[in-house]
Structure 1
Amino acid sequence: MGIRETRLENDFNEVSQLIANSGGTIALISSQGKPAYEYVIEYRCKGIERLQGNDPVFRTNHRVKITLSNDYPKNSPSAEFLTPIFHPNVYTNQRVCLGSYWTMAENLSELVIRIGKIIQYSKDVLNLNSPANRDAKDWANRNPNRYPVDNKTFKSAKKPQAQIVWNDL
């Protein structure tokens, strides 16, 4: 097994673990390949589908297709929404702008979490300096008090805790 295949296998295992610990906030709808190189992930959190006037129209289920190219992990994955979303970092053709700072150290489960934060307009990933959608950027600039629109972490609150027991010897 080559380096890419090992990475793809590790990514699949980590994403599966993330989903298992997400408390139902994310789900794997499908994957392609053995090892998997394409995923359809469903996020169950609030995001903005479109505007009605200046008011957001929300949706709570979002599907994203993530594709890992033949050059992955050297080159970044591509991500595309399969459901409508209105966001400064998502192009009007629904492709996610992942920026130019991809490193091989970022794994797929971290990207899955980052996309979930994008959906929710989380301020730690929102980039208004280089928007993919100017209308969404303008709305965000006019309405900074209206986001984030949700605060899901995509990690289960039931994470097992390490237990330390001190025994007298």
Structure 2
Amino acid sequence: MGIREKRLENDFKELSQLVSNSGDTLAIASSQGQPPNQYVIEYRCRGIEKLQEQEPVFRTHHRVEINLSSTYPKEKPTAKFLTPILHPNVYTNLNVCLGNYWTMAETLSELVIRIGKIIQYSDDVLNLNSPANSDAKIWAANNRRRFPVDTQNFKSAKKPSATIVWNDL
């Protein structure tokens, strides 16, 4: 098994664990390849579908197709929304702007979480300096007080482990 195939296998295992621990906020709607190199991920969180008279119309189910090319992980994946979304970092053709910098250290699970934060207008991923959608950028710049629109972190809370306390007898 080559390095790329091992990475794809590890990404699949890690993503499956993330989905399993997500409390039903994430799902792998489909995958292709063995190991998978294309996914459709379903997000269950609040995001903005469109504006109606400058007011957001919210949507709570989002689908994103992620493709891991033959040059992945050296080259960044591509991601495209299959459901409507309005966001400064998503082009009008629904392709996600993942930025100009990609590091092989970013895992597929981290990318899935990053896209979830994009959906929610999370401050740590919102980039208004280099918008993919200028209309969405103008609206977002004037409505920062509304963000994030959801705070789902896509990871269920882990059960606390039992603590053993040794008492002096």
TM over 0.5: yes
Say whether residues 1:99 and 2:99 are aligned partners: yes
Equivalent-residue separation in structure 2 for 1:166 and 1:100 (angstroms): 50
> Residues of 1 paired with 2:58 and 2:129: CA distance?
24
Identity within the alignment, %? 69
Paired amino acid for 1:66: I
Please state whether the residue corresponding to 2:88 is helix, strand or coil. Answer: coil
- TM-score, with length taken from structure 1: 0.96
Distance in 1 (CA, whole Å) between partners of 2:74 and 2:64 is: 21
> Shift in Å at residue 151 of structure 1?
0.5
- In the other structure, the counterpart of 1:58 is 58
Q: Tell me the residue number matched to 1:76.
A: 76
TM-fit CA distance, 1:102: 1.0
1:105-139 CA-to-partner distances (Å, cap 9, x unmatched) read 00000000000000000011000000000000000
How far off its partner does 1:146 sit? 1.2
State the one-letter code of the partner of 2:164.
Answer: V
The 3-state SS of whatever aligns with 1:100 is coil
Question: Whose strand proportion is higher, 1 or 2?
Answer: 2
Distance (Å, rounded) in 1 between the aligned partners of 2:141 and 2:27: 32
In structure 2, what is the Cα distance between the partners aligned to 1:70 and 1:161? 41
- Give the Cα separation in 2 of the matches to 1:47 and 1:118: 9
The count of corresponding residues between Structure 1 and Structure 2 is 168
Give the counterpart letter for 2:17 in structure 1.
Q
Tell me, in whole angstroms, the C-alpha distance in 2 between the residues paired with 1:144 and 1:166.
Answer: 47
- The question of 1:143 aligning with 2:143 is answered yes
Q: CA deviation at 1:166?
A: 5.1
Give the residue type in structure 2 aligned to 1:94: L
How far 1:162 sits from its partner (Å)? 3.6
Unaligned 5+ segments in structure 1 are none
Deviation at 1:53, TM superposition (A): 1.1
Match of 1:117 in 2: 117
Q: Aligned partner of 2:141: which letter?
A: N
Give the Cα separation in 1 of the matches to 2:11 and 2:159. Answer: 21
TM-score of the superposed pair, with normalisation by structure 2: 0.96
Aligned-residue CA RMSD (Å): 1.3
Instruction: Tell me the SS of whatever aligns to 2:36.
Output: coil
Q: Which runs of 5+ in 2 are unaligned?
A: none
SS of structure 2 residue aligned to 1:45? strand
